[in-house]
A and B are shown apart, each in its own frame.
Chain A
Amino acid sequence: MDLIAIIGIVIGVLLWILVAVLAFVAAMRSKTLFREGAFEGGRDFIMLLPRVMIGVVGSGYIAAVMPQDLITTWIGPNSGVVGILIATIVGAATPGGAVVGFAIGAAALKGGAGAAQVIAYSTAWSLYTIQRLLNWEIHMMAPRFVWLRAAVSFPLPILAGLGALLIGRP
């Protein structure tokens, strides 16, 4: 058994210990709190599962039909900083919810994109996908603040991609 698998198991055990502690604290406060938490957690899991499944399986098929040489040329492991920049811009332009962003990122990775480039993509998509800025953030915070945040966040995906290139992981 390799190190990664062992770390995975340890993290899984720690997560469930955390679940137990939180459940215990909630139960100490009140029975309703515990019941509500357990119910909502379970319901969210069941609601999310089919969506994640569709995205995960879909990304495999999308990767299989994507033009591999195109992906390798533009955002492949040897595309370097230019690939990171392209991935950052595509990440900002990707519309839709979590299924879309992660399915595209996973499909690209399976279809020959470099890990550093995919990290830049998913970081950009998480931080400032244009659709989310305009649909959500701008209505809940001062527009001046939203633009400031988007502007200072711009280099972060590039830094993340460069970090991945530098350490040569994942």
Chain B
Amino acid sequence: MIERRRRIRSFEWSTAIIVLVSLGAGIVVYVRDGVEKTLAILTKDLELLVGMLPKMAAGCLIAAFVTRLLPREVVARVVGSESGMLGLLVAMMMGAALPGGPLTIYPLAAAFLVLGADVGVAVAFITAWNLLGYNRALIWELPFFGPEFVGWRILIALPLPIIGGLLARMAARLIVRRRGGDQWT
């Protein structure tokens, strides 16, 4: 409960700052450029947002159902037992498919490590969740950047979880050789 309260509070704090900064910027635009420009910015941005509303709503519903239909324990067991290149691929797909915030994702990645997955798998999972997750792309990124930008961004990011996972394996091998202690949990 403490964690949850903390999440909401930090969220409101950053939203409040954006509200203040936006209001200030809006007033500057109004004083400097007049009503017409002020309204033009408002309508142009709202148009993009309205166009994205159906996809945002779908994103919220998919997230809510996937959370219920795909229990965390199952994901932990599937990903935790994988290794090699296949492990990275499975971790990447799970990271992209799983909704939820940092509160669900980091403990899940920690569970993979406990269950015997290597660091590469955990890194690929977190990277995919951050960069390929439909949840964030649909609900947040789309109304801000529009579909073309988001589409290319995701396409470019596709190989990154695998690259991150491979780099993590290399780095872990180096660290273990130099300092010992293959313990990441």
Contact = CB atoms under 8 A, between A and B. Distances in A.
A40 B160 contact: no
Contacts of A25: 65, 69
A15 B151 contact: no
Nearest to B48: A56
A159 B161 CA distance: 12
A96 B157 CA distance: 23
Majority secondary structure, A binding face: helix
Contact of A36 (B49, B68, B145, B185): B68
Interface residues of B, number: 81
A99 B147 contact: no
Contacts of B131: 123, 126-127
A140 interface: yes
A48 B136 CA distance: 12
Interface in B11-50: 11, 13-15, 17-19, 21-22, 25-26, 28-29, 32-33, 37, 41-42, 44-46, 48-49
B22 A57 contact: yes
Contact of A12 (B54, B66, B126, B156): B54
B93 interface: no
B29 A64 contact: yes
A126 B41 contact: no
Nearest to A96: B14
Of the four ranges (under 10, 10 to 19, 20 to 34, 35 or more), the interface on chain A belongs to 35 or more
Interface of A: 4, 7-8, 11-12, 15-16, 18-19, 22-23, 25-26, 29, 33, 36-38, 40-42, 44-45, 48-49, 51-62, 64-65, 95-100, 102-103, 105-106, 109, 115, 118-119, 122-123, 126-127, 132, 135-137, 140-142, 144-145, 148-149, 151-153, 155-156, 159-160, 163-164, 167, 169-170
Interface of B: 10-11, 13-15, 17-19, 21-22, 25-26, 28-29, 32-33, 37, 41-42, 44-46, 48-49, 54-69, 102-103, 106-107, 109-110, 113, 119, 122-123, 126-127, 130-131, 136, 138-141, 143-145, 147-149, 151-153, 156-157, 160, 163-164, 167-168, 171-172, 175, 183-185
6 contacts: A26-B65, A41-B57, A48-B139, A119-B152, A123-B160, A135-B10
